[in-house]
Amino acid sequence: MSPKLKTDIAIEQLNFEAALKELEGIVKRLEDGDVDLEDSIALYERGQALKSHCEKKLKSAESRLEKIVRGASGTIGTEPADLG
């Protein structure tokens, strides 16, 4: 069985949701264990790249969500948004 990777689409071109969906599919295939060794390695490598891409996208979104706050002295600055 071939890994059916979406190698025609560069990871950098994927938005967060598409990258996460592909990563979830890879994890499921690897967990199911019906992939031969070579395909498993290729899937794992693609999954690692997708994970890194998703982390970069999240970090970028987090920094964009910084909120503007006015300090006690009246100065305007930024502080990270509380996303948790």
Domain locations in the chain?
A: 11-79
pLDDT for position 3: 45
pLDDT for position 61: 85
pLDDT for position 1: 41
How far apart, in Å, are the Cα atoms of 42 and each of 19, 48, 54? 16, 10, 18
List, for residues 17-59, the tens digit of each pLDDT value: 999 999 999 999 999 998 999 999 999 999 999 999 999 999 8
pTM summary value: 0.71
Domain 11-79 has CATH 1.10.287: yes
- From the number of C-beta atoms within 10 Å of its C-beta (0-12, 13-18, 19+), residue 63 rates as exposed
